[in-house]
Amino acid sequence: MTLPKGAYAPIPTPLDAGGLLDPVALDRHLRFLAQKGLDGALVLGTNGEFSSFEVSERLALAEAAARFAHGLSLMLGVGSSALPEVIQLVQAARYFGYGSVLLPPPFYFRSAPSEGLVAFFRMALDAAEIPVLLYHIPQVTGIEISDEILDAIIDHPRFGGVKDSSGKLGEIDRFVGRLGDHSYMVGNGRLLSATRAAGGAGSITASASVVPALVAATQRDSDRQPELDAVRGLLEKYGLGPAVKEVLRHKGFGDYRTRPPLLDLDDESSAKLIEEFKTI
Element (H, E) at 178: helix 169-179
**Whether residue 46 lies in the annotated active site:** yes
Which member of 135, 184, 238, 256 is catalytic?
Answer: 135
Of 214, 159, 213, 162, the C-alpha closest to 186 is: 162
Phi, psi of 185 (to 5 degrees): -115, 120
Q: For the chain, first and last CA: distance in Å?
A: 39
Task: Considering the candidates 2, 108, 237, 272, report the single residue annotated as catalytic.
Answer: 108
Q: Concatenated DSSP letters for 194-222?
A: HHHHHT--EEE-GGGGT-HHHHHHHHH-G
Q: Are strands 73-77 and 132-136 parallel, antiparallel or unpaired?
A: unpaired
Residue 163 annotated as catalytic: yes
Instruction: Indicate which residue of 5, 8, 46, 238 is catalytic.
Output: 46
Residue 135 appears among annotated catalytic residues: yes
One of 8, 163, 184, 256 is an active-site residue; which one? 163
Nearest to 216 by CA among 206, 226, 229, 203: 203
Catalytic residues: 46, 108, 135, 163
